[in-house]
């Protein structure tokens, strides 16, 4: 989800020049009304984007019928331009199969033959936003540098949201430590709203936290953010959503690199996971447990969270 949210400045700017269609996972339809209402969303789960490596290459299990149906739909649109900010030849082949007149992207392993506008990749250390900015510049959709993004600033509300979920288990800081953080916040008179993935509800209840929200749609999650002044959570989609709603974020990183994936709000703060020779590991941990995130202590996080909440414009108690 973070990838889609980070594309928001590009999509908004592109809508000033084009009729824009976004090919993305079905959850993008929930994001559309809030973030880019002028964009047409075509839902599609690209099988090569699965997290588990084995699933990416089981060609016999790919949804070939659905893929053919989506391609027919896209060809009928007769696109003038197709763009991908991923350096993935499979994306480039898909763009070529749509029949788009121009196809811009970052070539890899010979995929420049599928592109009419191959674009040089940014510095590998760059934030993922820089890929959208670079490919956008190549097709005349100019968006500002990350440091100049004009997202809403200041506190939207008095609530501190603590979101303990993430798309992959290796990115989840232990619930027991989150519960300790919630107790510390309440002792400092902050109003705290706890939000969890549904599968972690029982663990929260074992920690004595009975009022836990577990939204099953992004629309429900967006509604829970309406009075939030700060969000604390793992490296996951809700942090990126909050940033574009003007909510400052504090992110706990584990296997990924903060410079690549930090939410784009100017007041965003974070703590990095512990060093690991395989970082970033793309969520495929080589150890029995992800020490990068498990090694981050409650005391370390509390110290940094206090600094975060004391910043000017932070949430009011």
Looking up residue 49, the CATH number of its domain turns out to be: 3.40.50.2000
Per-residue confidence (pLDDT) for residue 50, from 0 to 100: 60
Do 87 and 219 fall within a single domain? no
**Radius of gyration (C-alpha) of the chain in whole angstroms:** 20
Do 134 and 163 fall within a single domain? no
Do 139 and 174 fall within a single domain? no
Asked whether 105 and 91 are in contact (CB, 8 A), the reply is yes
Asked whether 273 and 235 are in contact (CB, 8 A), the reply is no
Q: Tens of pLDDT along 35-75?
A: 999 999 999 887 776 655 455 556 556 677 888 899 999 99
Beta strands in the chain (DSSP E): 21-24, 40-43, 81-83, 102-105, 117-118, 159-163, 191-195, 212-213, 228-234, 249-252, 269-271
Check residue 62 and give left, alpha or beta (phi > 0: left; psi -120 to 50: alpha): beta
Q: What is the extent of the structural domain holding 299?
A: 159-309
Regions of the chain with pLDDT less than 70: 49-62, 152-156, 313
Is residue 15 one of the residues assigned to a domain?
Answer: yes
Domain boundary among 145, 179, 207: 145
Query: pTM to 2 decimals?
Result: 0.91
Is residue 164 one of the residues assigned to a domain?
Answer: yes
Per-residue confidence (pLDDT) for residue 152, from 0 to 100: 65
Tokens of 79: 């696109």
Do 49 and 174 fall within a single domain? no
Q: Tens of pLDDT along 114-156?
A: 999 999 999 999 999 999 999 999 999 999 999 999 776 555 6
List Cβ neighbours of 156 (8 Å cut-off, separation of 6 or more).
226, 227, 228, 229, 245, 246, 247
Do 294 and 179 fall within a single domain? yes
Per-residue confidence (pLDDT) for residue 282, from 0 to 100: 74
Do 137 and 182 fall within a single domain? no
Per-residue confidence (pLDDT) for residue 67, from 0 to 100: 86
Do 61 and 180 fall within a single domain? no
Asked whether 234 and 165 are in contact (CB, 8 A), the reply is yes
Is residue 314 one of the residues assigned to a domain?
Answer: no
Is residue 315 one of the residues assigned to a domain?
Answer: no
Do 194 and 112 fall within a single domain? no
């Amino acid at each position: 989800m973070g990838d889609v949210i980070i594309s928001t400045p590009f999509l908004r700017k592109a809508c000033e020049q084009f009729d824009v269609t976004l090919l993305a996972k079905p959850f993008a339809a929930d994001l559309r009304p809030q973030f880019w209402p002028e964009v047409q969303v075509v839902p599609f789960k690209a099988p090569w984007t699965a997290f588990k490596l084995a699933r990416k290459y089981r060609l016999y299990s790919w949804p070939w019928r659905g893929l053919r149906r989506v391609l027919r739909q896209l060809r009928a649109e007769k696109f003038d331009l197709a763009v991908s900010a991923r350096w993935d030849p499979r994306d480039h082949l898909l763009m070529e199969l749509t029949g788009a007149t121009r196809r811009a992207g970052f070539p890899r392993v010979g995929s420049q033959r599928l592109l009419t506008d191959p674009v040089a990749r940014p510095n590998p250390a760059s934030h993922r936003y820089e890929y959208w900015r670079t490919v956008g510049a190549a097709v005349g959709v100019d968006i500002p540098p990350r440091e100049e993004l004009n997202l809403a600033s200041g506190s939207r509300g008095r609530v501190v949201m603590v979101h303990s979920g993430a798309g992959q288990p290796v990115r989840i800081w232990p619930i027991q430590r989150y519960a300790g953080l919630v107790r510390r916040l309440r002792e400092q008179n902050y109003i705290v709203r706890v939000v969890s993935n549904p599968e972690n509800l029982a663990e929260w209840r074992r920690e004595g936290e009975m009022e836990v929200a577990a939204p099953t749609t992004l629309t429900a999650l967006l509604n829970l953010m309406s009075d939030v002044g700060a969000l604390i959570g793992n490296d996951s989609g809700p942090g990126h959503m909050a940033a574009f709603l003007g909510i400052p974020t504090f992110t706990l990183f584990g296997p990924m690199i903060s410079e690549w994936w930090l939410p784009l709000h100017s007041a965003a703060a974070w703590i990095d996971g512990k060093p690991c020779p395989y970082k970033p590991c793309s969520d495929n941990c080589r150890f029995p447990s992800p020490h990068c995130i498990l090694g981050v202590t409650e005391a370390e996080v509390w110290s940094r969270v206090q600094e975060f909440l004391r910043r000017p414009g932070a949430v009011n108690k």
